[in-house]
Amino acid sequence: MSLDRRGFLKLSTAAGVATMIPGCSMEEKKMGTPTKAILKISCQEGVAPGETLTEKLDFLEANGYVGIEIGGRGLVDRVEEIQKALEGRTIKVSAICAGFKGVIISEKEEVRKEAMQSMKEILTAAGALGSTGLIIVPAFNGQTQLGHQESRELLIPLLQELGVHAQSVNSRILLEPLNRKEAHFLRQVADAAAICRDVNNPAICCMGDFWHMTWEETNDMGAFISAGNYLHHVHIASRKRRKMPGEDEGDNYVVGFKGLKMIDYQDYISLECGSVGDKKVTVPAAAKLIKEQWEMA
């Protein structure tokens, strides 16, 4: 049976306003359906106030944070230290932020190989820490001479290989789109999700960063919905200067949070930002703002 456009529209109307969520096994989620999404607020280690990891964890736990995001550089040698610091706590490691060597879409084979080796090592450490995944940027501006099409064709099989490793160590790759001033190759959440779809490995996923999304996305909700089940991490910062959420006038994440609720988002929203004010004041204030806007969404 074939449906013409008029017939399809009639059928859609009869079924109510339904939206297809990519990456959700083609299930339909109706507008207004109660969300299964949960709010889990995280903070990067370098953003949290405190001299030591223990001080930072104490501060974050006392202020409603349930995740800490750790840098990937040197992570392999820090696994024991971090495991010990987390013992008996409810706060967990959220994502691991980059810190690998090499460039995965470099035109030079040895630079690609260095990236693959380094990412695999960090993935193994990420898995040991129960992290949600390793954030990667395929290339910053100036790091590859390859054009877009060639970069993408090169990236897919390399991600397939990384996906196999990530699965074996119980972790994930999280592709991060950046704004055009930092990267030309991957700028939008939907593009990251399309790469995940083409790789077709459950350990190859993506994330969104409200800071970059401010410049590259036309709609935060649309961006998150386009990623669906491929989305496993979110970065948050103020929208004009990349400071603490709430430090720029009009910082608003409600539309994005609505999108996260529509996809039943289960992972962390993590602070990646500077701070104008004293972090002992602004980090708790950011958590309060995020919770308030999550409720509004």
Q: What residues make contact with Mg ion under the rule CB under 5 A?
A: 209, 235, 272
Least separation, in Å, of the C-beta of 2 and Mg ion? 45
112 vs 235, beta carbon nearer Mg ion: 235
Least separation, in Å, of the C-beta of 195 and Mg ion? 17
Measured in degrees and rounded to the nearest 5, phi and psi for residue 224 equal: -70, -40
235 vs 258, beta carbon nearer Mg ion: 235
Chain CA centroid to CA 263, Å: 14
Residues 6+ apart with CB under 8 A from 274: 47, 237, 241, 242, 243, 244
Least separation, in Å, of the C-beta of 50 and Mg ion? 21
Rounded distance, CA 140 to CA 167, Å?
A: 26
CB neighbour burial string for 274-285, b if at least 16 within 10 angstroms, e if fewer = ebeeebeebbbb
Rounded distance, CA 280 to CA 60, Å?
A: 10
Which amino acid, 109?
E
Q: 228: left (phi > 0), else alpha (psi -120 to 50), else beta?
A: left
154 vs 260, beta carbon nearer Mg ion: 260
111 vs 273, beta carbon nearer Mg ion: 273
Least separation, in Å, of the C-beta of 19 and Mg ion? 27
128 vs 137, beta carbon nearer Mg ion: 137
Rounded distance, CA 154 to CA 168, Å?
A: 23
Least separation, in Å, of the C-beta of 270 and Mg ion? 8
Least separation, in Å, of the C-beta of 137 and Mg ion? 9
Sign of the CA dihedral 210, 215, 221, 225? negative
Rounded distance, CA 27 to CA 202, Å?
A: 17
Rounded distance, CA 189 to CA 203, Å?
A: 17
136 vs 263, beta carbon nearer Mg ion: 136
Least separation, in Å, of the C-beta of 279 and Mg ion? 18
37 vs 189, beta carbon nearer Mg ion: 189
